[in-house]
Amino acid sequence: MTLSGTASSELITDDWRIHGSVYTSADVFALEQRRLFHGPWLYVAHESELREPGDYKTTFAGTQPVIVTRGSDDGRIRVLLNRCRHRGAAVCHAESGNANYFRCPYHGWTYRNSGELRGITYDDAYPELDREALGLVALPRVASFAGFIFATFADAGPTLEDYLGNARSYLEIVAGQGEAGIRLTAGSHRLAYRGNWKLQVENTIDNYHFGFVHRSFLDVLADRIGAAPPIVQNIMNNPDWRTIDLGGGHSVHEFGDPHTGNNQGQLGDLPFNLIIFPNLCFVGAQVRHILPKAADRTEVRLYPIMHEGEPDEANAAILRVHESFYGPAGMGGADDIEVAFDRVSDGLGAVEHDWLIMSRGVHREQPGENGTLIGHAADEVPQRAFYRQWKRLMEDAA
């Protein structure tokens, strides 16, 4: 398959230049939807969002709208395409709730929350219709790890555990953040920007930018703590702060010990930033779900991680720290939107020389255990981890 005459293998060079069309081309975006978002396991929800039978939330698997439901009868979690089998209307528009049935508003076709077609209005006009085959289309496999629910469009392939690989131990650490676990029950910040979804993935685990994009926040932090904030020195010089290519496109940036580390930036207390390929991130004290919409359009949801079994005041304090930096009015997040997405998207319009450089620290990547690659904190190890997998999947025969 070629992309406007360019093979996807040529979009990333051996010396780690990345072609601008990776971020701007509608053809690349369409191919990503077939290769990255149709086969790999995709995050859809956390179990705390679907505690009771009948609970549901709407979200997206790639660009496709889905409903994640917990069956009223069997308690089983399913991921259903949010599309009436009759004439295509979305059967559920609420973000979350509890329902035994979804009734299409167009002509009244009704589905159980397990997906099964329950009723067709005035159905004598359909003598031949096979109702058994006309449930809401379910993604064939759904699985959960450490409370995080994933689904895939692929009937066969690796199990979720195999897919997550070296990232599993980090997800378990996230799940153990609260005294009695975690819950995503505080809603989410929602961001929209004109720019490619991968810019948000790259920026989430980019440490090189912190002292530049977040200079104004560092000034605030210096005022807050009455001293120079240690975060930039740690990023540039602390050998215990490391970036790791975990394999499979996943990556992590550890702030020292993965159980007890802290970014020392008053950004939230997760001991690392983590990317689960392709579009799930953990940063600060949040789960970040990146929703690609088009080559140049992205939405992002930031779910603050609440600690189960801890008092309201402790969780409210987590929210206040999160809001201080993240979200549309955050003192850091808004600068990421401005620089890492808007300015980059502006600059990518200059296609005369259409290459970016992603080779920072490639010469000093060191092999670690289980096939990992380890680099300095401000090196582009995580970005290369992502694009190694990106390239692998995009080059696979259709």
> Which residues of this protein are in contact with other proteins, per CB under 8 A?
185-193, 213, 215-217, 219-220, 223-224, 299-300, 304, 312, 315-316, 319-320, 322-324, 327-329, 331, 334-335, 337-339, 342
CB 42 within 8 A of CB 152: yes
71 is written with which tokens? 């069956």
Residue 162: closest CA among 243, 43, 275, 41: 41
Phi and psi dihedrals of 115, rounded to 5? Answer: 105, -25
CB of 136 to other proteins, least distance (A): 25
* Closer residue to other proteins (CB): 326 or 386: 326
CB of 238 to other proteins, least distance (A): 24
Q: In whole angstroms, give the CA distance from residue 87 to residue 104.
A: 10
* Closer residue to other proteins (CB): 33 or 345: 345
H/E run at residue 236: helix 231-237
* Closer residue to other proteins (CB): 188 or 238: 188
CB of 276 to other proteins, least distance (A): 22
* Closer residue to other proteins (CB): 83 or 189: 189
Q: In whole angstroms, give the CA distance from residue 69 to residue 53.
A: 8
CB of 94 to other proteins, least distance (A): 12
CB of 331 to other proteins, least distance (A): 5
CB 336 within 8 A of CB 281: no
* Closer residue to other proteins (CB): 174 or 302: 302
Per-residue DSSP letter, 179: B
CB of 346 to other proteins, least distance (A): 9
* Closer residue to other proteins (CB): 169 or 188: 188
CB of 306 to other proteins, least distance (A): 8
* Closer residue to other proteins (CB): 24 or 286: 286
Q: In whole angstroms, give the CA distance from residue 156 to residue 163.
A: 12
CB 56 within 8 A of CB 92: yes
Write out the E strands in 15-172.
17-19, 42-46, 55-61, 64-70, 77-81, 96-98, 101-103, 110-112, 117-119, 141-145, 148-152
